Structure 1
Amino acid sequence: MKESSVPMDKEILIAKLLNLAEGRETPESWQEWWNEHEAELESLLNRGDFLKLKPCKHGFKWVPVFTSQKGAVAILEKNGVKCNSSHFYQEQYLEELDAFCKEQKRQQREKQKEFKDRHPAWFKQYPKFSKALANVLGPSDEILPAATEAKIDKQEELLKFIFPAKVREFFLLSAGINVSTGVTIMLSGMFRMTIHGEQYCVLGEFWKEADGDQLLLRTGDETIWYYAHEQDKVKPLCNDMTELLEKKLARYLNAN
């Protein structure tokens, strides 16, 4: 500890650190004391110890006092002061984390049920993808209603491109989706593109490797291709639209 002329002395600090290390503080009492004495502590402690002791900002109530406790124990040990480090803060944090996880699962189940109630055909046709999609849907995400055969035919005519059968099946379920985590497939947003001399129809975006990477179709082929624009490479991604949704995108959404 550095020499200081501030009112707080080493004995007062050690007593407070013992209270913290041995579990006699609450998140409120510790934060209040820190706020009152932060300037003194910054003068009294070296920079490393100060930062170890400083309560972090966190959404969980018990995390700041739990992390500060570790700093307190380290400072006490450095000064040769024995303490009986309490597990109380850790136990409270784990209880809080468990309650948070249970609440998240409850909300996920509610979102899935609401999505299933509103879109039962999705769960019938693409169960894995639909379950993953229900978990990540945000306020700005879009799920469009089904496209008509006539609308799909018109888009094919505009693009001069015949959609693979399984892509058509998807658009008969929805005219498109736009998910902020990096998946966009929109019937009205499709366009033709030439890459390395080959013609493709752009189905949408899939941010598998980088923002803006694209899903591609080729004439007379159910295969879904993938354009990694940072590498400037076209790669086969999966055999068809169903595999794209049920395996590739479901796994991607679950990870995000």
Structure 2
Amino acid sequence: MILQKLIEKFISLSEGKLTAQEWMDWFTDHKDTVEKICGRTAFLKIKTKESFSAIRNAYIGQLGAFEWLQSVKINTTFSDLYKKGWEKEFEDFCKAEKQKEKQLQKDVEKKFGYLKDHYPKFFRQLTRSYSDSDIIEAGVQQEFILNKEKELSMKIPEDLTTWYQNVSILKLEGIDIDFQELSTETIEKKQYLILGEFWLYGDGDQLLYSLENQNIYIFAHEHSPPKVIKIANSLSDFVEKKMVTYLNEYES
């Protein structure tokens, strides 16, 4: 009796006579029976998945149920209802994602279009990878830079001044540069400005600006022993090449 009811339900699913939600509800109530009768392999092909939509689960379940019916020599028709439903759902999802991308590009252009003048490659990357969780705040006034120079007892290099006049805070995935946190530190008898963090080799790696040659370095603290590693010839090189590559690879 139980076997016959399962077969009838599988046939109804195969022929597209159930709504996606009806299948989901039935399977939830009878999954132990399905595994016991059909076996583990068939069960895994049929079972619903929480991360999938109802229509996608119905289509996947239909494929598995139809295959099992054939394996026990029960012939039935195969409806394309769930397949078309899932394809339509996926098509709508792709359209919505494209619309979100277009809106994102408009938002980035509106908020950060000024970056194109100094950092065009970085700006283009932002149009592809910027998200609501990212933080980019406009640059600081010259008076704040002068105050920071007094605090550090040094002249801030021109390329850094240009950066901070455009971006005061940058918080992206694995990247944290904040004007207020700018400080100096001597490492291996060489003086650096600590710009923030860039998690290139490990979480928490410090991003360093050499006051000797204006090169950009990473303090790889997880390296054994910890090591200062050069990653760019200049700040512009870092922003336009290293950071863009990093964000592009993270996105993909």
**TM-score computed with the length of structure 2 as normaliser:** 0.81
- Structure 2 CA distance for partners of 1:18 and 1:244, relative to 1, 3 Å: farther
Q: Which of the residues 241, 247, 250 maps onto 1:253?
A: 247
Structure (1 or 2) with the greater helix fraction? 2
5+ residue gaps, structure 1, are: 1-7
Q: Which residue of 2 aligns with 1:201?
A: 193
Cα distance change of structure 1 residues 101 and 12 upon mapping to structure 2, 3 Å threshold? same
8 Å CA contact 1:112–1:131 kept in 2: the answer is no
- Tell me how far 1:77 sits from its aligned partner: 4.9
Q: What amino acid is aligned across from residue 208 of structure 1 in structure 2?
A: L
- 2:180 paired residue number: 188
* 1:243 Cα deviation after fit: 2.6
AA matched with 1:237: I
1:66, distance to aligned residue in structure 2 (A): 3.0
Residue in structure 2 matching 1:219, options 211, 226, 248? 211
How many angstroms apart in 2 are the aligned matches of 1:97 and 1:19? 24
Give the percent of matched residue pairs that are identical in Structure 1 and Structure 2: 29
What is the one-letter code of the residue matched to 2:6?
L
Equivalent pairs counted in the alignment come to: 247
Give the match for residue 230 of structure 1: 222
Unaligned runs of 5+ residues in structure 2 are none
- TM-aligned CA deviation for residue 42 of structure 1: 4.7
Is the CA contact 2:38–2:68 (under 8 Å) kept in the aligned structure 1?
no
Corresponding residue for residue 141 of structure 2: 148
1:39-83 Cα offsets, whole Å, 9 max, x none, are 433544444443332210125443322332343245335434456
CA root-mean-square deviation = 2.9
Counterpart CA distance in 2 for 1:79 and 1:194 is 75
Q: Kindly tell me: are residues 239 and 84 of structure 1, through their superposed partners in 2, closer, same or farther at Cα, counting changes over 3 Å?
A: farther
Q: Which moved more, 1:128-137 or 1:223-232?
A: 128-137
Secondary structure at 1:235's aligned position in 2? strand
Deviations, residues 60-108 of structure 1 (Å, cap 9, x unaligned): 4433223323432453354344566565544443432232222222112
Change (3 A) 1:90 1:172: same
Which segment drifts farther, 210-219 or 112-121? 112-121
